Structure 1
């Protein structure tokens, strides 16, 4: 019973205090130790040379025997991993570092990674305890007890030196956007103005029947939004992992994009061969309405914070994370 209260209390506190907090200043590569680590395949990797390697980095801490929130945090990271799509392993890397490296072996980490569907670009790491201790301290994870470790993500762009924190226990659509926004060339999804103005998503949905109707008639037989893969991919988060202009073209002319050899269109055709994406003859406005609906549904499923919500108030919490640590990792 004590353990159950601990878990639910941690989840509630993490949700309440979910916020992005800026780290002081910028970190160049010379800030990080080039620690030698072992991934889930037993491969030796250097933190700077092999893992950061000029990419956008997403770093979190966990341990296999964690009785509380680590499993949930990893499951939520798995959704972020899915939404980031093929960018992970290319220009984005996810780095999950064990806080009990003396116990967590590569073989055990491999089984853990497989259970969460981790593939290319997501590394579960262990190493020599003294070296891992130095690395985690430099990355702001300075808890003195395992039960107090950080449950947020440290995210940064190695090329620009910009680093900050974002929550794994809050809104995942916002967290994914925080990661993508580290790319200076990324353009955020075109969120309906009414949502940005503070209108509830429920009221927006009432005004979004066109997009909902298009989805029900043309898409729902093959796709879900948040309910898993059918004969086509789940479309929750698709407006985050795909460029808006690419979505407009693909919805309107998937056959042309496939014929032209668009790499994403080709990959989707290979991964979901049962039913080829049809051309519905939608106009530009209809395609835009459909994309708007898909994005609104992603936000609704992730419970976009309303004005005045606990999540909004958390932005005034002096950068504290879910365990009361400040942006630099100090406990109070």
Structure 2
């Protein structure tokens, strides 16, 4: 249970105030199933913002339950006698739908949520309202075992900062410790549905260089309107790097880009642990003079490197008769100034 909702429930249970008698207003639109009548206690929060005290712009709450006539037309204070919620008395057994809206002083809807509940005795309905019906989730993470640490802390993993992106959006900085403590950190507000998440953890590589990518994770999370924000935990994976450059051999001499006329160089990697290529299609295309090229976001392992040189759309150089195997080690990162692995392409 969300800690904020638990606190609201305890407050309600202790004070026993904020209670309204419901007038059922005639026949219920759907005959109720066999069951016990009861009181319905609504407890509300406001997404990542928290409780009523955290959203001072909220001046009133409107509760609508089709088929039911509520006191004050369903308008209540955000907090009643210390409780972020309200109790409605004497509901027949049955299933009901509801809508909650939070209004500001100008009758603008700031937060809302909808859902359903079933009465068979007393019932608590915990509702997390979000802006315009949007959703969010709590995200937490952990790092793979390292040395004697089965789940290393941020400092034990040498992580100093983390950046995150949702749905390929803007990269933002998040606190590493926040993601390893409790429920994690709330995402920005999202449309209901499935979303992609990517995080990169930076710190000191095995050479002691700061702000190098050490871990990453990619995953998905799913949110639903009218449902408590899910808590999703992800595992980071180690990163290593490579740096490569190329030479062209015409059978007699080594040639540079200008001498060969190469307009592009296309590189791909075969992951020897899976026997699958790393990059879609033919691979990554570079200008011939772009070398050395660096990739700092690689899974540790062994890769066979294939490289082809093109003049326009015609391949004129390749290393396919003598491909190089490259080993990527965890936390061993590369910069453009580091020594690069040399790939030799022969004239075709």
TM class by shorter-chain length? under 0.3
Higher strand share: 2
Structure with larger RCO (C-alpha < 8 A, sep 6+)? 1
Greater Cα radius of gyration, structure 1 or 2 = 2
Higher helix share: 1
- TM norm structure 1: 0.21
